[in-house]
Every structure is written in structure tokens, then in C-alpha cells.
Structure 1
């Protein structure tokens, strides 16, 4: 079974991160904001968990963020929680697994009071690089708007 402990081992280390995100989400906006940041990630408990600490140099104001990931050893499914310093809330976890070298993770959430689906995709994973993207769907997954892309380049 793919999608098991150690799946996020590729991320262990330090990274330079290029961020590209839509200025507004699910409004038809086509204006992208680009900025850089850093990330430090490590595995925990023999690969059944992973944590990343990010510094995002967003033009609207720099902030810190963290992701915590935990693999269910019975199912091989990962749960990912995201938190950043702009809020006291913890986002609902996205859940999923890696198949064919690509990780896909989904959650139900709300945006401006409306229900949405959230999707995270990890792809283009190599020793020196990785790509993450976030997309929202307002229609139960029939259509998706990619609204944030992070390109990781290893520094250590």
C-alpha cells in the first residue's frame, strides 16, 4: 500500500519557498501575489508524523505558519493540520495519501460562510525540490480553483 509512514520524509530539512497565491479566492480573481519564504521540516515518531515551520514574507505582512501531519498506521491515510500566526484557529485537517508519487488530500471547510472543498496536492517531489498547491471547489469537486502554489528548493 502506498501512503504510509515516512511519506513526508522527503521534506526533512531546510527549504527556500517561492509562494504564488491568488489575491482573492473564488471571486474570479486572476491577480497573483508572489513572494518568498523559508521552511524547516522534520519527521517525528519514526516517520508516522511530520512537522514544518514556515516563515512567509508576504507583502501584506510577514508571518509564521506550521503544518502538522500524522499518518494512521492502520489505513496509511495522512491528516494534515495547518495553522498560521494570523489566526488563533486551527484549520480542519485535509486527509489523503500518496499514490504514484503524488499526494492528494481533501477537506470540507467554509469560505465567507459558504461550504467548499479544499484540496492539497504534493507533486514534483525530488531530492532538491517539491511542489505544493492548494485549490478550492465551491461545487462539490466539479470544478477547482488553484489559489496557492509553493515551490520548494532545498537549502540544507
Structure 2
């Protein structure tokens, strides 16, 4: 029975990713023909390039009242790739559970005018389903399907309060298709002195 539940969750997660991509994508364009009317967001992540001190607040039980929280501190280093149409983010933090390392690869799709974010951490060494989305009015929002406690959920990543030397990053979970969101991860980043 558990195997069947896992297959159902995985199938739902794949379907959710396809629906999410279709719902957030502009009208379909030919692969070799960018949508000229869409906003060019190829430089949206330029603000993130550099070295940052980060303070992270991770909520371990977002659907159960958020009483179990751990806090971590560390460094995030973001390097520009392909003249800014991609970037590599390396994360190293320490907290009550020890040392944690992760990385994100950000890629800009010039046809869809959207960004994708693919994440991995050093303990797992695999890449999950990418977050996909875009920036609007100075705020980035990317969404991905996932599972939490064997339940299919959506995960929303948000970049906000973007300034030259600081910004916020958060992740929230939704178990109702995006109608409501529960905060699961919040990071405040401050640019390191050069």
C-alpha cells in the first residue's frame, strides 16, 4: 500500500509541475522564437551576485503550528554564469544540527521569459524538480511541486525587499494547490564587505 501511495504522490507531483509551468508560462512560442511582447528578465538575478552573510529561520512543522524552529548562520556565494543569464549559488551554514551545504543553479529561459531554480545539498547529492517563475514589480516568485510527510505539496520561493546590500528569501508550502501558504524557511541576507 505504501508503494502505491508513493507512486500516486510522485504522479501528482509531476502533474503539478506541468500544470504550474503551463499556468505561469506566457502563450506558447516556437522554441527558436522568443516572445517579443514579454518582459526580458535576463538580468533579474543581478542583485544576487556576490557574497552574503545569511541568517536562516527554518520551520520544521509548517502545517502543525510552526512550533519547531531551528536557526542557522552562514555565507552564500553567488557567481554569474553566461553573462548573468544563469548563476550558481553556494550555501554554507551552521546551526544546532551541524554544518549544512547546498547549492542552487538558476537558469533564464529567453523563450518563456522565466527563471528556473534547481537545488541540491551535499548530503543528498541529487537535484529535485526545479522551481519555475519570474520577477514582477521587484519581487521574484518561483513555484515547484514536492512532497512533505508523503503528501503532495507546492513550494513557493520568494525574493523580496531587494536592496543593494540586503534582501530576503523565503519558502512556503501549500497543500491546497496554492490557495493558502505556510512559511517554512526565511533567510535575511546582508552583503559581505568587499
For normalisation by structure 2, the TM-score amounts to: 0.76
Structure number with the higher helix fraction is 2
Structure number with the higher strand fraction is 1
Structure 1 pair 112/28, CA: closer, same or farther in 2 (3 Å)?
same
Deviations 1:112-147 (A, max 9, x none): 221100000000111100100000011111211101
Within-5 A mapping of 1:7-156: 7-155=44-192, 156=194
Moved over 2 A (4+): 23-32
- Structure 1 contact 21–33 (Cα < 8 Å) conserved: yes
Deviations 1:28-72 (A, max 9, x none): 332322221101101110111011101011211112110000000
Distance 1:142 1:7 in 2: 26
Distance 1:36 1:58 in 2: 7
Give the unaligned 5+ runs of structure 1: none
Distance 2:47 2:141 in 1: 16
For normalisation by structure 1, the TM-score amounts to: 0.94
SS in 2 for 1:127: coil
TM-fit CA distance, 1:26: 2.5
Alignment RMSD: 1.3
Q: Say whether 1:5 aligns with 2:42.
A: yes
SS in 2 for 1:57: strand
Distance 2:173 2:107 in 1: 22
Give the unaligned 5+ runs of structure 2: 1-37
Q: Which has the larger radius of gyration?
A: 2
TM-fit CA distance, 1:85: 1.3
- Structure 2 contact 40–110 (Cα < 8 Å) conserved: no
Distance 2:97 2:164 in 1: 31
SS in 2 for 1:146: strand
